[in-house]
Structure 1
Amino acid sequence: MQPTGDDVAGDLVVTRDVVLSAADLHWRFSRAGGPGGQGVNTTDSRVELSVDLRSVVPVGAPLRDEDRTRMLERLAGRLHDGVLTVVASDDRSQRRNRRAARQRLAAILRDALAPPPPARRPTSPSRSARRRRLEAKRRQGAVKELRRRPNGE
C-alpha cells in the first residue's frame, strides 16, 4: 500500500522520490491557546512535528548530496541544530493538527528540494520602451509644472 500525505501515522511523502520514514518524524503535543470548548484545558491539541534533516534517510533511494546541501542551505534560517520543526494549532482536533503539520512539513521540504530556477538572461530595454519611458517622464513633468505657483506673484 502506498502511503498517503493525509495519513497521520505513516511515512511522509514529500516528492515521488523522497519519502521520509515515520521513525524519522518526532511528534510533541501541548495545550493550544484559542477556542476549544470544555476540553480546552485538558486536550493536547497543539502539534509540533520535527525532523533532523542532517541525518534523515528517505525510504527507498537515498537523498543525493547536492539535494541535501540545497535543502539545508535554503532552510538554514528555519533550522535549529539541523532540526526543522513545524507547528500546527489551528484546529481543536489533535488529529487534524497532525495532518496539517504533516502537510506543511511536506510543502516546506518540497520547496527546499526544488531545483534552482534558471539563471536570468540579462536584457536591455527596447528602443520603443525607452521612448515610452521618456514620454511618460515628460508628461509627469508637465503636470508638476502646472502645479507650481506662477512667477509673477
Structure 2
Amino acid sequence: MDTHETRPPLPPFTLDSAIAKVRAAEDAWNSRDPARIALAYSEDSAWRNRSEFFSGRPAIVDFLTRKWAKELDYRLIKELWAYGEDRIAVRFAYEWRDEGDRWYRAYGNENWEFDARGLMRQRHASINDVAIEERDRKFHWDASARRPLDHPGLSALGL
C-alpha cells in the first residue's frame, strides 16, 4: 500500500471537518461507484453492515456491487450525529426501489473510526428498511448527480 495515501479531512476532527467528511462520504456513496468508494477505507477496513461482517477493499467492492444490483435509483442523505478525535457517528436515510418498482426508505446509523491518514478503518452500520409509496418519496434529485446543496437534509425533512 502507498503509505502516502490520504483521504482528507484528517483526524483529529473539528465540527467543520467532521461535517465535510460526512458530506464527502454521502457524495461518494451517491456515485454508486464501488471502486471509488472503497478507496476511502483502509485496505483492511472492518465492516458490519446489517448482519454482514467482512473486511478489506475487495470485500467492500463486492458488497457494494451486490447492494446496487438490488437497490435501484439509490439516493442517500447522511447527517453528522457526533464526532471525536478519530471517530464520527452519522445518521442517514436513503431511498431505493426494487425490480418490481416497489420503493423503500432505509434508516440507519453508522459509527466510523479513522486512521491518521483519514481512511476509515472501521464501519458499523445498523439499518432498517421501510416500504413507502412512490408518492411518499422525499429524495428527488437526479440520481446520477450529488445531492444539490439547496436540497434539505434529514432534519429539515423531518426524518
Q: Which of the five TM-score ranges fits, normalised by the shorter chain?
A: under 0.3
TM-score by length of 2: 0.25
TM-score by length of 1: 0.25
Relative contact order: is structure 1 or structure 2 higher (C-alpha 8 Å, sep ≥ 6)? 2
The structure richer in strand per residue is 2
**Larger radius of gyration, structure 1 or 2?**
1
